[in-house]
């Protein structure tokens, strides 16, 4: 099968592109031809990782055009790429990627699969709270599921949203985030990381991008509560982002001192080493529209590393953690602290949860399993064929794309 994946982010320089990179690698392993068409970030905005993400071997990677008349050139390039594929997949309801992918698919009479992995309208409100942009993304996110051949959803909340929009279950496929199992070794104890940071006792880790929708403050408040009773554990925030300076300031205010370590950005291939050093992985969340719809990557990577989990119960978190950890109420640092303290005091419970965690990753939450579900979505899309839309036909005629 020839697959075109349209990605609205910079595959090399933005940290939230793990999903398309890992899925494309799995598709190639299955014997399919994959092209990734992505939107490069402007040079002055490359403030994310310090290193470039590595692209999978065998995947064709093509950047969108940046510069004068970029919309014209990108539409022309996508029209050419979509002529010779079996199915088009695009991620997120963000323009111009989603809009261009839909138009080009309609011109070339190709089936489309939409990978709905986040509630973009709520994320836009948090990051860029302008009424016009919010209304646009909100409308697009509710229109696209009706126009595509099949739909992949990363969480049960998104599936319910799709059902409310009239999408039938035979057109929907579960596609949660996964972990790359061979990167994680549950038997590794992360000696090199502990020596690097001078950690002698137990280590409690919070993994995540410290952007607008991060909840590192909850983790730090829990760490301060634990520290009142237990002076042994060290706490670590693995990740970087625009909120890093604010979190460091908050940590000083809480009196955590050198008991809380901030790593800043860590290349994704090094994450397994940090999780190997951890005794417990923590995933703190507040209850809101964004978190309810998420399939958190940190959860599956804790599972793959075989680390017991303490997490806030929002959206799919409880279903993902299962019996591999302790799930408490959202936005509750006291409950997080109590659960972490319980695990710190019980070595046998931690070991039992560790074994269960790795097993859940091997059986359910890995990229191969997610890729197999998405392949079923692609096959169903080809079977259904392109969805007809008077709106897309009108736009195509107005833009003269049939003559392109």
Question: What's the CATH code of the domain at 70?
Answer: 3.40.50.2000
- Residue matched to tokens 């320089």: 13
Contacting residues for 57 by C-beta, under 8 A, at least 6 apart: 25, 28
Please tell me whether residues 280 and 383 are part of one structural domain.
no
Please tell me whether residues 244 and 301 are part of one structural domain.
yes
Q: What is the per-residue pLDDT for 231?
A: 77
Please tell me whether residues 189 and 161 are part of one structural domain.
no
Q: What is the per-residue pLDDT for 399?
A: 47
Which residue in 174, 93, 125 sits closest to 288, CA to CA?
Answer: 125
Please tell me whether residues 145 and 200 are part of one structural domain.
no
Q: Compute, in degrees rounded to 10, the torsion defined by CA atoms 42, 45, 49, 55.
A: -10
Kindly give the confidence (pLDDT) of every residue in the chain, 404 residues in length, as a single tens digit, with 9 standing for 90 and above. Answer: 999 999 999 998 887 899 999 999 999 999 999 999 999 886 545 555 556 788 999 999 999 987 778 888 888 899 999 999 999 999 988 778 888 898 888 889 999 999 999 988 887 777 665 666 777 788 888 889 988 999 999 999 999 999 999 999 999 999 999 999 999 999 888 999 999 999 999 999 999 888 765 688 999 999 999 988 887 899 999 988 888 888 888 888 888 888 999 999 888 889 999 999 999 999 999 999 989 999 999 999 999 999 999 999 999 999 999 999 999 999 999 999 999 999 999 999 999 999 999 999 999 999 999 999 999 999 999 999 887 655 555 554 544 555 44
Which residue in 193, 138, 185, 180 sits closest to 305, CA to CA?
Answer: 185
**Does pTM top 0.95 for this prediction?**
no
Q: What is the per-residue pLDDT for 403?
A: 46
The answer to whether residues 179 and 300 touch, using CB atoms and an 8 Å cutoff, is yes
Q: How many domains does the chain have?
A: 2
Please tell me whether residues 164 and 95 are part of one structural domain.
yes
Q: What is the per-residue pLDDT for 340?
A: 97
Please tell me whether residues 199 and 298 are part of one structural domain.
yes
Range(s) of the domain holding residue 211 = 181-363
Please tell me whether residues 202 and 106 are part of one structural domain.
no
Please tell me whether residues 61 and 154 are part of one structural domain.
yes
Beta bridge partners of 326: 310
Please tell me whether residues 196 and 293 are part of one structural domain.
yes
Please tell me whether residues 216 and 150 are part of one structural domain.
no
Q: What is the per-residue pLDDT for 404?
A: 47
Please tell me whether residues 209 and 167 are part of one structural domain.
no
Please tell me whether residues 155 and 228 are part of one structural domain.
no
């Amino acid at each position: 099968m020839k697959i075109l994946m349209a990605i609205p982010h910079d595959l090399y320089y933005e940290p939230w592109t793990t999903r398309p990179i890992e899925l494309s690698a799995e598709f190639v392993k299955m014997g399919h031809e994959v092209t990734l068409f992505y939107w490069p970030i402007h040079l002055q905005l490359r403030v994310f990782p310090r290193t470039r993400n590595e692209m999978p071997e065998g995947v064709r990677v093509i950047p969108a055009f940046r510069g004068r008349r970029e919309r014209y050139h990108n539409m022309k390039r996508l029209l050419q790429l979509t002529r010779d594929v079996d199915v088009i997949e695009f991620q997120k309801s963000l323009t111009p990627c989603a809009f261009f992918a839909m138009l080009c698919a309609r011109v070339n009479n190709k089936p489309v699969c939409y990978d709905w992995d986040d509630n973009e309208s709520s994320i836009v409100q948090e990051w860029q709270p302008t009424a016009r942009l919010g209304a646009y993304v909100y409308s697009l996110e509710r229109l696209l599921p009706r126009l595509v051949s099949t739909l992949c959803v990363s969480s049960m909340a998104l599936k319910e949203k799709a059902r409310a929009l009239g999408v039938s279950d035979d057109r929907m496929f579960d596609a949660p985030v996964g972990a790359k199992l061979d990167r994680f070794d549950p038997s590794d104890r992360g000696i090199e990381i502990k020596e690097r940071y001078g950690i002698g006792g137990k280590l409690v880790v919070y993994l995540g991008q410290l952007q607008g929708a991060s909840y590192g403050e909850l983790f730090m408040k829990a760490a301060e509560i634990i520290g009142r009773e237990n002076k042994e554990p060290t706490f670590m925030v693995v990740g970087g982002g625009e909120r890093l300076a604010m979190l460091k300031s908050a940590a000083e205010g809480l009196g955590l001192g050198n008991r809380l370590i901030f790593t800043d950005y860590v290349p994704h291939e090094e994450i397994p080493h940090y999780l190997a050093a951890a005794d417990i992985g923590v995933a703190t969340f507040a209850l809101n529209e964004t978190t309810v719809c998420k399939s958190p990557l940190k959860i599956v990577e804790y599972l793959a590393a075989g680390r017991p989990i303490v997490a806030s119960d929002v959206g799919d978190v409880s279903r993902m953690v299962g019996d591999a950890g302790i799930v408490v109420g959202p936005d509750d640092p006291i409950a997080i602290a109590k659960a972490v303290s319980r695990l710190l005091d019980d070595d046998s419970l931690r070991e039992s949860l560790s074994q269960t965690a790795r097993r859940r990753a091997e059986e359910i939450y890995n990229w191969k399993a997610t890729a197999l579900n998405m392949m079923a979505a692609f096959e169903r899309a080809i079977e259904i064929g392109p969805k007809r839309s008077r709106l897309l036909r009108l736009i195509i005629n107005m833009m003269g794309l049939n003559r392109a």
